[in-house]
Amino acid sequence: NLGVVNIPVYVHVIYSNNQENISDAQVNSQIQVLNEDFRKTNSDAGQVPTQFAGAAADSEVSFTLAGITRTASTRTSWGTNNAMKSSANGGVDVVDPANALNIWVCNIGGGILGYAQFPGGPAATDGVVISPQYFGNTGTAVAPFNEGRTGTHEVGHYLNLRHIWGDGRCRQDDFVSDTPSSDRANYGCPTYPTSNCRSADMTMNYMDYTNDACMYMFTNGQKARMRSLFTPGGARAAL
């Protein structure tokens, strides 16, 4: 039994204007949301439908802010080619990726909220990227993605979780047995039950695409998949 695994977090704010140069309070709000969501102390945990209540997990992962870097840039959108992760390309180099989570906060552009690197990828690009308007739950965060759940979703990917519908058809697996199958992402705020395959979709799972206010659980199976990374030989064992 590993107990609660704490992950130090470096946040790299790269900005081209004041809106993007988010406050320390906004950074701290994202850390707090991560702690609530991964410890099942989120205030909306009680909204999980009875059908799924037994599957809802305290993932026993916590997060501690290790440092904030701030970098001014003339670049107004960064795309998804990892330029923000390299000082040679005007970004900020990763800090201690074996032992810490790096989050770059910069405008990705193209309507993209965030993206993540799965475990096992190159160390130089390890971590997650989130646009400032979808980061944390205060300051410049914009509805309906202003409750910090983009951070929760992206850290889920960083800890090896797939989208709940497996990015495919009904029988496409997300490698988690207690998340019901689906053949598509859900958006907005679906009413329960919403069924796309044989049973109700778990639209309230952090790894679906619903609004921040409409996602509030990980499952026991997702917890097990995440935490296997921390066991000896796991891709994030040093954490």
Active site residues: 154
User: Does residue 145 bind ligand ARG (CB under 6 A)?
Assistant: yes
Residue 79 or residue 90: which is nearer to ligand ARG going by CB?
Answer: 79
Q: Which of 176, 202, 215, 226 binds Ca ion (CB under 5 A)?
A: 176
Q: Which of 38, 212, 222, 225 binds ligand ARG (CB under 6 A)?
A: 212
C-beta of 215: minimal distance to ligand ARG in Å?
A: 6
* Residues 72-131, interacting with ligand ARG (CB under 6 A): 113-115
* Residues 10-69, interacting with Ca ion (CB under 5 A): none
Which one of 41-49, 78-86, 90-98, 150-158 is the stretch in contact with ligand ARG (CB under 6 A)? 150-158
Strand partners, 124: none
Q: Which of 102, 117, 133, 179 binds Ca ion (CB under 5 A)?
A: 179
User: Does residue 150 bind ligand ARG (CB under 6 A)?
Assistant: yes
Dist. CA 205–CA 218, nearest whole Å: 6
Tell me if 26 sits within 8 A of 138, measured CB to CB: yes
DSSP state letters, 97-165:
TTT-EEEEE----TT--EEEPPTTS-GGG-SEEE-GGGSSSSTT--TTS-SSHHHHHHHHHHTTPPPTT
Dist. CA 32–CA 30, nearest whole Å: 5
Phi, psi of 31 (to 5 degrees): -60, -40
Interface residues with ligand ARG (CB under 6 A)?
Answer: 113-115, 145, 149-150, 153-154, 209-212, 215
